[in-house]
Amino acid sequence: MPGFELFGDLERKEVNDVLDNGVLMRYGFDGMRKGHWKAKALEKELQNTFKSKYVQLVSSGTAAVTVALASAGVGAGDEVIMPAFTFVASFEAIMMLGAIPVLVDIDDTLCLNPKAIENAITPKTKAIMVVQMCGSMANMDAIQAVANRHNVLVVEDACQAIGGSYKGKPLGSIGNLGCFSFDFVKTITCGEGGAVVTNNEKYYINADHYSDHGHDHIGNDRGAESHPFLGYNFRISELHAAVGLAQVKRLPEFLDIQKRNFNILREALAEIPEVTFRAVPDGGVESCAFLNFSLPDLETASKVSNGFKEHGVDACWNYYNNNWHYIRRWDHLKDLKSLYPISEDVKNALLNLKHQDFSISDHFIGRNISCLIKLSWTEDEVKARAKKMSEIIRGVLN
Nearer to ligand PLP, 212 or 225 (CB): 212
Least gap, CB of 350 to ligand PLP (angstroms): 19
Whether 73 and 98 have beta carbons less than 8 Å apart is answered as: no
Least gap, CB of 308 to ligand PLP (angstroms): 21
Distances 222 to 32, 40, 172, 177, 218 between C-alpha atoms, Å:
14, 16, 32, 28, 8
Nearer to ligand PLP, 49 or 62 (CB): 62
Going by their DSSP bridges, the two strands 194-198 and 177-181 should be labelled as: antiparallel
Query: Which residues sit at the interface with ligand PLP, rule CB under 6 A?
Result: 60-62, 86-87, 89, 131, 157, 159-160, 181, 183, 194
Distances 295 to 17, 64, 392 between C-alpha atoms, Å:
50, 35, 13
Residue 227: CB atoms within 10 A of its CB come to 11
Dihedral through CA 90, CA 106, CA 197, CA 249, nearest 10? 100
The number of residues making up the chain comes to 398
- Please give the residue whose beta carbon sits closest to ligand PLP in the complex: 61
Instruction: Report d(CA 167, CA 133) in Å as an integer.
Output: 17
Q: Indicate which residue of 38, 126, 186, 374 is catalytic.
A: 186
Instruction: Report d(CA 19, CA 1) in Å as an integer.
Output: 28
Least gap, CB of 319 to ligand PLP (angstroms): 12
Nearer to ligand PLP, 241 or 269 (CB): 241
Least gap, CB of 87 to ligand PLP (angstroms): 4
Dihedral through CA 128, CA 137, CA 110, CA 143, nearest 10? 40
Catalytic residue status for 309: no
- Count how many Cα atoms sit within 13 Å of the Cα of residue 123 in the half-sphere of its side chain: 0
Nearer to ligand PLP, 190 or 304 (CB): 190
Least gap, CB of 61 to ligand PLP (angstroms): 2
Nearer to ligand PLP, 62 or 302 (CB): 62
**Residues belonging to the active site:** 186
